[in-house]
Amino acid sequence: MIIVETERVVLRNWRDEDRDLFREINRDEKVMAFFPFRRSHAECDQLFNRNRDMITGTGLGFYALADRDTDEAMGFCGLAPVDLPGILPEGSVEIGWRLATRFWGKGYVTEAAERLVEHGLTALGLAKIYAFAVQNNDRSIAVMRRLGMEHYRNRDFDHPKVPDTHPQLKRHVLYRTTSRTLKIRKKRNDQFTQT
């Protein structure tokens, strides 16, 4: 099941041959630097199965981000329901990503996420898409900015699911985008290409 594709990447559902990559990105110290835990082999497999089933059942989830030419999974980028009562409204959807380190610095996440935001706001009819990250996760925040997402400054928050044993990972910045933001961005891009 292909969700969206770009010039270089495809976002699709997970396949059994992607399991090793999924385990890698959920256990790698660099990839998971802003998370308070690393998943075991069995935990990775449970999450893999749950995510694949959610995509099959709802069309939402963290999709495999694969090379368009080789179909090799490199990480994920997806739209998923987010449960943060008191922080985000019920029914909110977040965009998130994770990429194996050997694929960093090539623009794959930005390319995939840009297409996915458009898909979410137009084809899926989402009113808003949120993104959040630990306040000093500069790489993820840079992607949010490249996507034209707006920093929802007065709504930055301490993540309730981050344990007190990791205070440096609690504070999160919150970004969002809407169909209005997408239209403004497209208009600016069109004007830029015409000059």
- pLDDT tens for each residue of 7-26: 999 999 999 999 999 999 99
- Determine the pLDDT at residue 84: 96
95 and 120 in contact (C-beta within 8 Å)?
Answer: yes
Residue 45 host element (H or E): helix 41-58
pLDDT exceeds cutoff 60 at 137: yes
Q: What is the mean pLDDT of the chain?
A: 93
AA letter at 18: D
pLDDT digits (tens, 9 = 90+) for 75-125: 999 999 999 999 999 999 999 999 999 999 999 999 999 999 999 999 999
* pTM of the predicted model over 0.75: yes
Task: Kindly report the CATH number that applies to the domain delimited by 2-194.
Answer: 3.40.630.30
- Determine the pLDDT at residue 193: 56
Domain ranges of the chain: 2-194
- Determine the pLDDT at residue 1: 82
Q: Residue 34 and residue 76: Cα distance in Å, rounded?
A: 16
AA letter at 27: R
- Determine the pLDDT at residue 189: 58
pLDDT exceeds cutoff 70 at 186: no
162 and 170 in contact (C-beta within 8 Å)?
Answer: yes
